[in-house]
Structure 1
Amino acid sequence: MTQAPLTLPRDRFLDLPQGEDRKVGIEIEFGGLTEDEVADILIEQLSGRCERTGPVGLQLVETALGTIKIYLDTAWRDRADTAVVGRLLEAARRIVPVEIVTEPLAFSDLPRLEVCRAALREAGAIGSRNGFLLGWGVHLNVETEGSEVSDILPVLTAFALCDDVIRAQNWIDPSRRIVPFIDPYPRRFIDALADRDQFSMEELIDLYLEHNPTRNRALDMLPVFAHIAPDQTHAGLSGDEKVNARPAYHYRLPDSRIDEADWTLALEWNRWILIERIAADADLLDLIREDWRDHRAHWTTLRTDWPDRVLARLEAANLLDDMKEIA
């Protein structure tokens, strides 16, 4: 039987279940506004001053949320001062987004960023579903609780097992589905995480790199692993894969729906909190791992069957009681 849709709060940011002082950096891609227009709106909301960092790049400093980068999100942006490239980028603005990137923010700062998101929407910012082949996203860079395998493995396992649940509940724009940027983990990788509950960090990184030697995953773990074991991580990547090491989960799945009235950053944050709550409940995570093994043992099951099974398990554990949307 199909489970009822998972509804999460849109009007408030739920607390992290562990490590309350952890920070999160946020990246938002959108169109409809120029970098200068975005800077003016954010300064109106946050104060601070603007510095130009390139032909299509700005940086806000001394704002209420620290330093914020604003730029046209293309590898060509540093060459936009040449006449030909500049004209091409101006012509491409319909599909090349402006991106804002915050420094790591305290949890208490997130509502203020949501106010900025609403101000950008009011000024004409547009999101993923405003046209064909936009494919813009929101990335959360959530600081890890620590660098031990006991900190990392439960979160990675919870996400691997529940990625399909979030995708089933959250209609992802087709333009993001057809490109590899947010590919799901291979099923054999999920099998390996479900089959074992003990790994050394070296074993976990080797397993991840064997199946995911790329940034193009909905949860990109390479920044975390490059922070913990840089030599091992970079040795497992192709030469053109660039990774900035940082102690943060790089959660890339959400669409940017900045122009939609019922969409908020809180909603996407709370989807991540669901993953962290599952990870923090060892008994529940073990049950879901067991469910996955059983699911995979039956030849007649499909990947599309899996989300309902997880939702039933979460309902039985009463995990969703205080996460449901308030009317």
Structure 2
Amino acid sequence: MTRFAPLPQPITASGEPRRVGVEIELGGLDEAHVARLCAETLGGQAVQDDSHIWTVQDSSLGKLEVYLDIFLRKANKTKLRDLALDLGREVVPVEIVTEPLDIEGLAQLDHLNTVLRKAGALGTGAGWVFGFGVHLNVQIASDSDADILRPLLAYALIEDWLRASSPIDESRRILPFTYPYPTDFVRALIGLGPDGTAQKAMDLYLQHTPSRNRGLDMLPIFAHFWPDRIAEAISDKTSARPTFHFRLPDCLIDDPAWSLAQEWQRWVTVERVAADDALLARLCREWQDDHGMVTLTRGSWAARCGDILRAAGLDMAGLPG
């Protein structure tokens, strides 16, 4: 799959195309090599800002950041810090971070992935300690309650199917970065319903899952609208921005059959569910019926959810049924 499908709501309330920032984690190449390949493929100039931090200026995708993805890169520069970074290279990914892109930009980025693969880039399945992912920061359509709450509810309802139909690598399952939503949170969201308020959804999120380590991290959106509330409740620093931070997808950059478009399609499926009133209502009812008062297993719902989505014509959304 190479075509990037449009979102059901491709335009923001202000009339501009919705954009998506992308973060790609990979191994096999150092950050200098990655930065130079970015510049060769997309134009611009690769500039070394620090021993392990590069930027690509004036590329066809704007500014790209390329760095070793570890907290030490932000520490004061010392020989000890640089040694620690070098020693961590075998397990710490190099990360490419883009500016917000349109659909055409996503296609260019997918071509860059092909270039990186041919140069020896490795994805999450290349080693048991690799837990590399792709993060999509999808701009919200508007600041209305519906455009924040409904995609969150849709994702919560179909998350088990997303995970079952395209399982994430074992190396990422044992890491804490993409845990599934607790079923008590899903149950509470269903109780709130698609016509609830985004602020109430935030309250439920902070009550049941006050963490960034979820397949869909909502804290950036909540911090954008209610910064004081999030700062009070969350000790970790949260980058406030009006985007859905979709953390679930693996990076399989070394697999020729893999495409960034496949991971994009997973999010498009979430928004297609969110835009369908009847489907969203049916999923809410059947989730409650499947789980009962106490959730004993999530596997049965994943299969049942897949049947419902197939019946709604969403089985061709780029994921196996």
TM-score, structure 2 as length reference: 0.93
SS of aligned partner of 1:25 = strand
Give the aligned CA root-mean-square deviation in angstroms: 1.7
Residues 55 and 80, structure 1, Cα contact 8 Å, conserved in 2: no
Q: Select 2:54's aligned residue among 44, 55, 58.
A: 58
CA distance in 1, matches of 2:314, 2:27: 37
Task: For residues 251-301 of structure 1, give each alpha carbon's deviation from its aligned partner in whole angstroms, at most 9, with x where no partner exists.
Answer: 001111110111110111111111110001111000000001111227696
Q: Give the counterpart letter for 1:223 in structure 2.
A: P
Name the counterpart of 1:320.
Answer: 315
Name the counterpart of 1:286.
Answer: 281
Confirm whether residue 86 of structure 1 aligns to residue 79 of structure 2: no
Higher relative contact order (CA 8 A, sep 6+): 1
Q: Select 1:199's aligned residue among 196, 213, 223.
A: 196
Q: Select 1:303's aligned residue among 298, 301, 313.
A: 298
Say which is worse superposed, 86-95 or 308-317, in terms of deviation.
Answer: 86-95
SS of aligned partner of 1:52 = strand
SS of aligned partner of 2:90 = coil
Alignment map for 1:65-214 (pairs within 5 Å): 65-79=61-75, 81-197=77-193, 198-214=195-211
CA distance in 2, matches of 1:299, 1:229: 32
CA distance in 2, matches of 1:19, 1:74: 34
Name the counterpart of 1:223.
Answer: 220
Q: Select 1:250's aligned residue among 235, 240, 245.
A: 245
CA distance in 2, matches of 1:317, 1:216: 30
SS of aligned partner of 1:100 = strand
CA distance in 1, matches of 2:274, 2:246: 15
Name the counterpart of 1:6.
Answer: none
TM-score, structure 1 as length reference: 0.92
CA distance in 2, matches of 1:187, 1:300: 7
CA distance in 2, matches of 1:300, 1:228: 33
SS of aligned partner of 2:39 = helix
Name the counterpart of 1:260.
Answer: 255
Deviation at 1:228, TM superposition (A): 1.3
Q: Unmatched 5+ residue regions in structure 1?
A: 1-9
CA distance in 2, matches of 1:228, 1:304: 35
Name the counterpart of 2:9.
Answer: 18
CA distance in 2, matches of 1:48, 1:306: 48
Deviation at 1:189, TM superposition (A): 0.5
Residues 143 and 248, structure 1, Cα contact 8 Å, conserved in 2: yes
Say which is worse superposed, 81-90 or 54-63, in terms of deviation.
Answer: 81-90
SS of aligned partner of 1:76 = helix
Q: Give the counterpart letter for 1:209 in structure 2.
A: L
Q: Select 1:274's aligned residue among 247, 269, 276.
A: 269
CA distance in 1, matches of 2:74, 2:230: 28
Identity of aligned residues (%): 42
Residues 224 and 245, structure 1, Cα contact 8 Å, conserved in 2: yes
Q: Unmatched 5+ residue regions in structure 2?
A: 12-16
Confirm whether residue 31 of structure 1 aligns to residue 22 of structure 2: no
Number of residue equivalences: 314
Residues 26 and 122, structure 2, Cα contact 8 Å, conserved in 1: yes
Residues 1:124 and 1:324: Cα distance change in structure 2 (over 3 Å): closer
SS of aligned partner of 1:77 = helix
CA distance in 2, matches of 1:82, 1:269: 39
Deviation at 1:149, TM superposition (A): 1.1
Residues 189 and 208, structure 1, Cα contact 8 Å, conserved in 2: yes
CA distance in 2, matches of 1:27, 1:287: 34
CA distance in 2, matches of 1:301, 1:211: 18
CA distance in 2, matches of 1:80, 1:119: 33
Deviation at 1:12, TM superposition (A): 1.4
Residues 181 and 214, structure 2, Cα contact 8 Å, conserved in 1: yes
SS of aligned partner of 1:99 = strand
Q: Give the counterpart letter for 2:86 in structure 1.
A: E
Residues 295 and 301, structure 1, Cα contact 8 Å, conserved in 2: no
Name the counterpart of 2:45.
Answer: 49
Residues 1:90 and 1:14: Cα distance change in structure 2 (over 3 Å): same
Once superposed, which parts of structure 1, at least 4 consecutive aligned residues long, lie more than 3 Å away? 78-81, 298-301
Q: Give the counterpart letter for 2:131 in structure 1.
A: G
Confirm whether residue 40 of structure 1 aligns to residue 36 of structure 2: yes
